[in-house]
Structure 1
Amino acid sequence: MSIEVHELVVFPGPDGSAGNPLGVVLHGGTVDAADRQRVAAALNYSETVFVDDPASGAIQIFTPATELPFAGHPTVGTAWLLAREHAPIAALRPPAGTVGVRYEPDVTWVTARPEWTPVFDFRQLPSAADVESHPQPDRGHVYVWAWLDEKAGTVRSRSFPVDLGINEDEATGAAAIALVGLLGRRLEIHQGVGSRLIANPTGDGAVELGGRVAAVRTFAFDGR
């Protein structure tokens, strides 16, 4: 079984570095539902997306260990890829619900609800240096953060979703949505080794999440 996989990087910094790798199978129907978790584990991206219907935006999202009802960088990346390979879309439809989509020249935006995100163990630390030096947890879903500039709303963060099969996530859109839900304000998040995420409250309980996306390669995966 040969599967065409698009590898993207989502939320790279202004210089194009860093960002979170993502695998997207645009022809999701080529992979049986029962095989998707195994394929995602073999690909070993933090998340892999299977697009079941480009027109309606129906998708499934898997980490190497489990399916997610919603995730941030997979929806931003998939929305960008569909616009490039098919046509711009107004919404994606993962199991959690309808995710609004809009496009700017350099930023792709999705709108989702904080209650769709996993339960994060948010830990605010005194400084960015404390975030940098935080040890790798051996369990849980820990997200450490500190203000870089509280007045400007800039944050330094790292994410350790160990229970999802990921030791450290380079850029975690769902956590950005959840943190904006908690704080109720716009944030620019500097995560991992250089990723940038922007998230804004919409005023109706939802959060808009945006960032850059870039294509890395398209390749055939043998399905094993």
Structure 2
Amino acid sequence: MTEKTQIYVVRAFAGAGDKGGNLLGVILDGPRVPVAERCTVAARLGFPETVFVDDPVAGRFTIHNAARPLPYAGFPTLGASWLLRRHGYPCAVVRPPRGEVRAWDVNELSWIASPADWSSTIAIKEYASAAEVDALTPPTSTQPEQYAWAWSSASSGRIRARAIMHRPARPEQQATVRGAVGLAVLLERPVVIDEGAGSRIHAEPNDDGTVSVGGRVALLSMRRLRPPPTGRRPSPPQNSFRTACGGGAPT
């Protein structure tokens, strides 16, 4: 790992004004970071997940959070595929460790075909109104987690949703792809989901067992990855990225 290693800070599933969504770090020259060091680097960066691209031509990458590598996660896959195309790699198919995922752009939206059976399950609960969803409070340790939703406009497929999760001392999770995938499968129709604080996810079920998941992606900044001082263990992340966007289960 050298100081030439560049980190792209990307926001996936942004809403109006490129707000909301999930932040991630993407390192396009992944081979500069040994696999054994990637969780440590992810912890230093402080994003929910960090993507390390090992082969940009093939669209092959790994996804790591501070604790472990992930075989697949929705918003890192969307963000990384968008960034690869922005850098001139066609990447109609990208390859996270779990397998191949189709990826494409249509106008201002980027899309992936997320296999429904790759998403971890979450309880999906319908409420009578968006106001009821907005009024929900985080569950106690004995209450179940849920992906809460209500129609904003059933005729146009607009939904208000929130991921009501066990997240002590951390803000609410944004842009939950597994929830969007579950809703599209449940409702058997295309939907546009306004989730959390300004995130927006488009989801459409497909006949092949995948769900097309789309959203706006924005490049926020670029910076260099500096190695930790020699002889010192890296300090826990002090920036707000991880606390603002959350970690834990793949989304």
Counterpart of 1:99 (choices 78, 98, 101) is: 101
Q: TM-score, normalised by structure 2?
A: 0.80
Alignment match, 2:122: 120
> Are the counterparts in 2 of residues 23 and 45 from structure 1 also a CA contact under 8 Å?
yes
Alignment match, 1:188: 192
| Displacement of 1:68 | 2.5
Query: C-alpha separation between the residues in 2 aligned to 1:29 and 1:152?
Result: 45
In the TM superposition, 1:158-197 aligns within 5 A as: 158-160=162-164, 162=166, 168-197=172-201
CA 37–202 in structure 1, closer or farther in 2 if over 3 Å, else same: same
- Which amino acid letter does the alignment assign opposite residue 110 of structure 1? I
Deviation per CA, 1:5-49: give whole Å up to 9, x if none.
100111112333222211111111111212212222222212211
| Displacement of 1:138 | 5.7
Alignment match, 1:77: 79
In the TM superposition, 1:17-32 aligns within 5 A as: 17-32=19-34
Structure 2 portions without partners, runs of 5+ = 228-233, 235-251
Alignment match, 2:211: 207
Q: Greater shift after overlay, 74-83 or 39-48?
A: 39-48
Work out the number of aligned pairs and report it: 223
Deviation per CA, 1:136-191: give whole Å up to 9, x if none.
2366753222221223221111225558x975322122321232122221110001
Alignment match, 1:149: 153
What's the secondary structure of 1:102's corresponding residue? Answer: strand
Q: TM-score, normalised by structure 1?
A: 0.89
CA 105–12 in structure 1, closer or farther in 2 if over 3 Å, else same: same
Structure having the higher Rg: 2
Alignment match, 2:138: 136
Indicate the RMSD between aligned Cα atoms, in angstroms.
2.2
